[in-house]
Structure 1
């Protein structure tokens, strides 16, 4: 079971490295690791389990955040229609995106960042993504709203980018051209 002490924090070099592409078939250990990432998110959103183990609630976690520099992350959150998205993605890519932007009006947070970093993080409002499942099946999906933002946040982790790298530090709450806030 992944716990908070397993998550590396801001400043660790693995968070700034570009993660390695994974090859299929995945090993039993790699599949189990992907399942563990997803289970951490499920546990972190369960008040009883989170309280018992001191987990911070999360909707996404990338392999580099637990010091594994591989192109894999998990998401566990509702889509804009309330349907649960719960998945582990391997070797993800954004194949197209909207011109229109979006951002979380209260800013973004990160399990690897133990401080508030105020400011808007510009993201694409809608994205089309390709990735592989743990079993090596290729998937293509269209995402919008919070799932699109979370996917981009986690994909950044695979490329050594932190969410606050996107914030305009001179004016963190400056209006973002052609972008609408996603109300939390």
Structure 2
């Protein structure tokens, strides 16, 4: 079981490296790791388990956050309209995106960042992602708003990008003219 002690923090070199593609089909070990990542997210959203194992609630986890520089991510969350998303993905890739941008009004956080960082993180409002799921199926996901933001945050980890790299240094609460707030 993955716990907070397994998650690397800011400053760890894996968080700034570009991750390697996972060769298909994935190894048993890679599938096991991805399943554990998804399990961590589910556990982190269970109040009882959160308290028992001192977990921080999370909606996404990328392999580099475990010090593994492979293109693997897990997401488990419900968007603001109650739609559920739960995926373990190998080699996720954004194949198209909107011109329009969006950002979370409350800002973003990260399991690898132990300090609050204020500011807007502009991202694409809509994206299409291609990936291979845990069962080995090629899938295409069309995501918008919160779901698109979560997915972009995790894919950024695979490219060595942290969420705060997107925040305007001179004016952290600057909203680009083509961006809308997601409340």
TM-score, L = length of structure 1 = 0.97
- Whether the 8 Å CA contact 2:102–2:181 is kept in 1: the answer is yes
- Structure 1 residue 80, shift from structure 2 partner: 4.3
- The answer as to 2:102 corresponding to 1:63 is no
Residue 38 of structure 2 aligns to a residue whose secondary structure is helix
Residue 29 of structure 2 aligns to a residue whose secondary structure is helix
- Residue aligning to 1:45: 45
- Whether the 8 Å CA contact 1:103–1:121 is kept in 2: the answer is yes
Q: For residues 63-94 of structure 1, give each alpha carbon's deviation from its aligned partner in whole angstroms, at most 9, with x where no partner exists.
A: 00001110000000113431211110110111
Between the aligned partners of 2:47 and 2:20, the Cα distance in structure 1 is 34
- Residue aligning to 2:92: 92
- Residue aligning to 2:106: 106
Moved more, 21-30 or 67-76: 21-30
- Residue aligning to 2:125: 125
Residue 109 of structure 1 aligns to a residue whose secondary structure is coil
- Whether the 8 Å CA contact 2:122–2:175 is kept in 1: the answer is no
Structure 1: which 5+ runs fail to align? none
- Structure 1 residue 141, shift from structure 2 partner: 1.1
Between the aligned partners of 1:138 and 1:10, the Cα distance in structure 2 is 32
- Whether the 8 Å CA contact 1:80–1:144 is kept in 2: the answer is no
Residue 149 of structure 1 aligns to a residue whose secondary structure is helix
Residue 69 of structure 1 aligns to a residue whose secondary structure is coil
Q: RMSD in angstroms over aligned alpha carbons?
A: 0.8
Residue 121 of structure 1 aligns to a residue whose secondary structure is coil
- Whether the 8 Å CA contact 1:19–1:159 is kept in 2: the answer is yes
- Whether the 8 Å CA contact 1:9–1:114 is kept in 2: the answer is yes
Between the aligned partners of 2:44 and 2:65, the Cα distance in structure 1 is 15
Runs of 4+ in 1 over 4 A off after TM superposition: none
- Residue aligning to 1:140: 140
- Whether the 8 Å CA contact 1:156–1:162 is kept in 2: the answer is yes
- Residue aligning to 2:35: 35
